[in-house]
């Protein structure tokens, strides 16, 4: 039996909710079970994509309502906001937007969020040593790590810190700080996303991890897990995922901790995220002494064409051949000239 347009639209207002079935897509979709005219019904609500017309985008920031600051650190600012005004009491009102602002923004911020083609690249130990490591050193300058140091030194986001290891005089090699990632709304448990910043400065990325660091890595995971479970009641140990990025955006070692129900987007995808436990396992089974480490292996990952890594290193110097690890002859020439 056909239902006219008006009749179909009227069904929504007749829906009487009984229970929440599921919330997914990072909280952007919910499924509800209920009744319409004494018959069983399932209602799925999903936030529609943003319009991309210039007329809409040029005005969208000015139309946001009930803007609530969650914090600020250096050039990073994050908020909750609503796209429409509401007359609901505070306890019934829920912001429908999580807002991040980078101000003043750099080319690196613009490039990171720009649509771009991706490429799979293969980084050998030689390429890492001769080209990537110097690139990392350059990238650590110009105040790019200031926001991290602000947190580690207790100068920013102090009230947001979930756990900080007790300070040991003259020794910060075991220390770390655990706090919410700026991409989490700090309310939805199943989209939990936390960030762990280590205090030590000698570990820039997973490339610096060696067999001698195994005890530290295991102990840190244990302490992080305990802190999360104590802070967010109801979360179990086997509901937490640990990973690091390679390449990371910032070259100071940090660990991402997320709820297992958080749907994996690009930042958790193969070619970007590396499982923390997998790193530990690889170090455990790696041949060699205490100084053997992740700098000795080849790593394959994705790079965007707007990334400095592509423009400065891979774009013009390496051709990727499916099923082969051979570098372009130009890469051999440059690498050999540096040895």
Contacts of 189 (CB under 8 A, 6+ apart): 232, 234, 235, 259
User: Taking Cα atoms as reference points, which of 268, 259, 225 lies closest to residue 239?
Assistant: 259
319 three-state secondary structure: coil
Secondary structure class of 16 (helix, strand, coil): strand
Q: Partners of 29 in the beta sheet? A: 24, 46
Check: CB of residue 4 under 8 Å from CB of residue 21: no
Edge-to-edge strands of the sheet including 29-36?
A: 16-24, 29-36, 39-46
Let me know: does 191 contact 180? Beta carbons within 8 Å.
Answer: no
Alpha-helix runs per DSSP H in the chain: 5-14, 54-57, 60-63, 107-112, 125-127, 133-139, 146-152, 214-231, 276-285, 308-309, 315-317, 329-338
User: Is 97:80 a contact under the CB 8 Å cutoff?
Assistant: yes
Which residues are tagged catalytic?
254
**CA torsion, points 137, 139, 142, 143, in degrees to nearest 10?**
-100
Instruction: Enumerate residues 6+ apart whose C-beta is below 8 A from 61.
Output: none
d(C-alpha 313, C-alpha 303), whole Å: 11
Radius of gyration of the chain (CA): 24
């Amino acid at each position: 039996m056909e239902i006219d347009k008006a009749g179909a639209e009227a069904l929504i207002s007749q829906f009487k909710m009984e229970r929440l079935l599921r919330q997914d897509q990072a909280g952007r979709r919910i499924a509800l079970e209920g009744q319409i005219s004494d018959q069983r019904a399932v209602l799925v609500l999903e936030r529609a994509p943003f319009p991309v017309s210039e007329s809409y985008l040029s005005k969208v920031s000015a139309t946001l309502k009930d803007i609530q600051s969650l914090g600020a650190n250096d050039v990073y600012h994050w908020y909750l906001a609503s796209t429409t005004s509401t007359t609901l009491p505070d306890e019934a009102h829920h912001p429908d937007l999580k807002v991040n602002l980078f101000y003043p923004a750099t080319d690196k911020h613009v490039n990171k969020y720009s649509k771009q083609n991706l490429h799979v690249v293969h980084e050998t130990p030689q390429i890492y040593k001769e080209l990537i490591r110097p690139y990392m050193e350059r990238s650590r300058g110009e105040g790019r790590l200031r926001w991290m140091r602000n947190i580690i030194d207790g100068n920013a986001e102090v009230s947001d810190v979930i756990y900080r290891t007790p300070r040991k005089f003259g020794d910060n090699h075991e220390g770390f700080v655990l706090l919410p990632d700026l991409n989490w709304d700090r309310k939805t448990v199943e989209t939990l996303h936390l960030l762990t910043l280590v205090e030590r400065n000698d570990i820039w990325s997973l490339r610096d991890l060696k067999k001698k660091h195994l005890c530290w890595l295991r102990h840190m995971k244990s302490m992080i897990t305990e802190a999360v479970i104590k802070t967010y009641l109801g979360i179990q140990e086997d509901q937490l995922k640990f990973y690091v990025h390679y390449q990371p955006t910032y070259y100071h070692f940090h660990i991402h901790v997320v709820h297992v129900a958080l749907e994996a987007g690009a930042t958790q995808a193969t070619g970007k995220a590396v499982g923390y436990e997998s790193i530990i396992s690889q170090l455990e089974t790696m041949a060699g002494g205490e100084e053997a480490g992740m700098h000795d292996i080849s790593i394959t990952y994705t790079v965007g064409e707007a990334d400095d890594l592509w423009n400065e290193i891979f774009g013009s110097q390496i051709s990727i051949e499916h099923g082969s690890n051979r570098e372009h002859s130009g890469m051999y020439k440059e690498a050999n000239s540096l040895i």
